[in-house]
């Protein structure tokens, strides 16, 4: 009964706040205050760019697994190249499945503690990798990397978007745009200056010479430096938004002044704080709308996962794939950043679902050989980056900024199940195996199912009555 009363308070007082805010008199800010606010907002965006880049540098491991395998074969000649197929899928699996825990850390201990803990876990795992000589330890470290990334992934992104509440998709796109652009530079830099390879291996010889790949340890030290300085930079540039400063910029935030209306809002806000946060998250988790999003993500991700991981099987195009993937990602970020705030999530998601279905259809029906790999690099990057932007901003709009990290983790965790699907495929099948066409047919069906669930999604705020 007590929980029911708390829910009623939450629902009724939300309505009161919205009514009172309609009549709210806008407080005027000086030019100096506006400049300070804008500088804080820009700094928060740069903090998120630096922070997310530290994480994306870890994902760039996917384009260096041939180096890693040759390095491991220096100590164990029995290892086969197929062992590398599980490395990045394992990290993605851990990232998705532990995303709810990342939201809990941020909520319980604060954003800065989450950032420090996250990057500490990542630095520790790479230190162990430096001394490791076993591919099986690498598997465990990839799982640890995924968990470490999940702990702090959304902290700075949430902070940056809180300064520009009506432009969430645009801010997310700026963050992901710089991430992709910097990754292109990072991949080329690693290829030329860090790993120092001379030429690709021949088709007959899949592995590089051991004398070249002893330099992989240099890459690991380089990665530790990126993670450390990305943590330091994001902490120095982190500015938590004061919601009292946002009204003059047209953002839908609450402004508190000495008017009677705002005093009543303050009183309501104090009452809302008495409602336990775990009760709110519980209502989110068991709401049918949240279940709709979870199922939608569950069926949408297999095709993205399959396309992303099949590309790593062609060792002769690793770095070309990496550069192309991130260049197309930049284009996708620009498009969906501009569209995400003015077009409904449902429409944009339907477009992405159709594209992912076409990727499977073209592979099965018409295309074969290297061309299909390049085409699907483009499709995978466009779809994945676009989905990240519209999904992140949609969760912020629907569930509110205060509960973004928790609800994002709950809904995104379902993608971890599709990661299991990808691990099994990439470990058991070769790129030339005709069974891949059967698998693509299954994933095309999944995309169509996700498309169906997308039709039921809307842009309204979360309804606790539903």
Decide which of 222 and 61 is more confident.
222
Q: Kindly report the backbone phi and psi dihedral angles of residue 145, in degrees, each rounded to the nearest multiple of 5, phi listed first.
A: -60, -40
Query: How far is it, in rounded angstroms, from Cα 380 to Cα 327?
Result: 12
Task: State yes or no: pLDDT of 348 exceeds 80.
Answer: yes
pLDDT at position 36 is 80
pLDDT tens digits, residue range 114-135?
Answer: 999 999 999 999 999 888 888 8
Task: State yes or no: pLDDT of 220 exceeds 60.
Answer: yes
In this prediction the pTM is 0.81
Catalogue all structural domains in the chain, each as residue range(s) with its CATH number: 30-241+276-454 (1.20.1250.20)
Average confidence (pLDDT) over 266-271: 46
- The widest CA-to-CA distance across the chain, in whole angstroms, is 79
Task: State yes or no: pLDDT of 266 exceeds 70.
Answer: no
Task: State yes or no: pLDDT of 194 exceeds 50.
Answer: yes
Q: Which residue, 165, 172, 99, 158, is CA-closest to 391?
A: 172
Decide which of 84 and 314 is more confident.
84
pLDDT at position 275 is 52
Decide which of 383 and 249 is more confident.
383
Which pair of tokens denotes residue 87? Answer: 């490395």
pLDDT at position 67 is 75
119 Cβ contact partners less than 8 Å away, ≥ 6 residues apart: 54, 148, 152, 227, 228, 230, 231
pLDDT at position 25 is 36
Mean pLDDT of the chain: 76
CA 278 to chain centre: 24
Buried/exposed code over 309-329 (b: 16+ C-beta within 10 A; e: otherwise):
bbbbbebebbbebbbbbbbbb
Average confidence (pLDDT) over 100-122: 89
pLDDT tens digits, residue range 412-464?
Answer: 888 888 777 766 665 555 545 556 667 777 777 778 888 888 888 877 776 65
Average confidence (pLDDT) over 311-323: 64
Q: How far apart are the first and last CA of the chain?
A: 18
Query: How far is it, in rounded angstroms, from Cα 210 to Cα 215?
Result: 9
Contact assessment for residue 125 and residue 141, using Cβ atoms and an 8 Å cutoff:
yes
Query: How far is it, in rounded angstroms, from Cα 383 to Cα 308?
Result: 11
Query: How far is it, in rounded angstroms, from Cα 115 to Cα 363?
Result: 41
pLDDT at position 3 is 56
Name the helix (H) or strand (E) containing 411: helix 404-412
List C-alpha distances in Å: 5 to 17, 90, 241, 282.
18, 44, 31, 15
Task: pLDDT band for 140, please (50, 70, 90 cuts).
Answer: very high
Q: Using CA atoms of 29, 31, 35, 37 in order, give the dihedral in degrees to the nearest 10.
A: 0
Task: pLDDT band for 243, please (50, 70, 90 cuts).
Answer: low
**Half-sphere exposure of residue 113, counting CA atoms within 13 Å on the CB side?**
9
């Amino acid at each position: 009964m007590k929980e029911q009363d708390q829910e009623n308070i939450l629902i009724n007082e939300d309505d009161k706040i919205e009514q009172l805010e309609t009549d709210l008199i806008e407080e005027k800010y000086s030019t100096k205050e506006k400049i300070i606010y804008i500088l804080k907002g820009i700094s928060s965006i740069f903090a998120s760019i630096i922070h997310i880049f530290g994480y994306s540098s870890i994902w760039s491991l996917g384009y260096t697994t041939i180096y890693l395998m040759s390095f491991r074969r220096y100590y164990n000649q029995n290892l086969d190249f197929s062992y590398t197929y599980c490395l990045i899928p394992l990290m993605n699996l851990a990232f998705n499945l532990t995303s709810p825990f990342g939201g809990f850390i941020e909520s319980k201990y604060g954003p800065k503690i989450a950032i420090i803990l996250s990057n500490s876990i990542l630095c520790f795992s790479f230190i162990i990798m430096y001394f490791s000589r076993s591919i099986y330890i690498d598997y465990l470290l990839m799982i640890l990397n995924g968990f470490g990334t999940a702990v702090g992934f959304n902290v700075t992104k949430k902070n940056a978007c809180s300064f520009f509440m009506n432009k969430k998709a645009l801010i997310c796109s700026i963050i992901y745009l710089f991430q992709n652009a910097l990754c292109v530079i990072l991949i080329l830099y690693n290829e030329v200056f860090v790993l120092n390879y001379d030429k690709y291996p021949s088709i007959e010889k899949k592995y590089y010479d051991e004398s070249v790949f002893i330099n992989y340890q240099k890459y690991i030290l380089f990665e530790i430096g990126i993670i450390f300085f990305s943590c330091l930079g994001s902490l120095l540039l982190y500015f938590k938004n004061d919601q009292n400063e946002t009204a003059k910029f047209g953002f839908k935030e609450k402004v508190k002044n000495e008017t009677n209306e705002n005093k009543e809002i303050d009183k309501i806000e104090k009452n809302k704080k008495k409602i336990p946060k775990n009760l709110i998250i519980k209502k989110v988790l068991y709401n049918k709308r949240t279940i709709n999003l979870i199922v939608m993500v569950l069926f949408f991700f297999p095709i993205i996962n399959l396309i992303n991981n099949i590309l790593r099987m062609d060792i002769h195009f690793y770095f070309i794939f990496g550069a192309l993937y991130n260049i197309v990602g930049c284009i996708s970020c620009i498009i969906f950043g501009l569209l995400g705030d003015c077009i409904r999530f449902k429409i944009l998601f339907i477009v992405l679902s159709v594209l992912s279905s076409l990727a499977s259809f073209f592979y099965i029906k018409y295309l074969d050989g290297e061309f299909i790999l390049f085409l699907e690099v483009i499709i995978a990057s466009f779809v994945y980056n676009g989905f990240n932007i519209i999904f992140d901003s949609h969760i912020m709009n629907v569930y509110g900024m205060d509960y973004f990290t928790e609800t994002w983790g709950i809904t995104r965790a379902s993608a971890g199940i599709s990661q299991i699907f990808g691990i099994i495929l990439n470990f058991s099948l070769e790129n030339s195996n005709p069974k891949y066409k059967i698998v693509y047919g299954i994933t095309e069906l999944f995309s169509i199912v996700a498309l169906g669930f997308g039709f039921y999604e809307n842009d309204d705020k979360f309804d606790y009555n539903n």
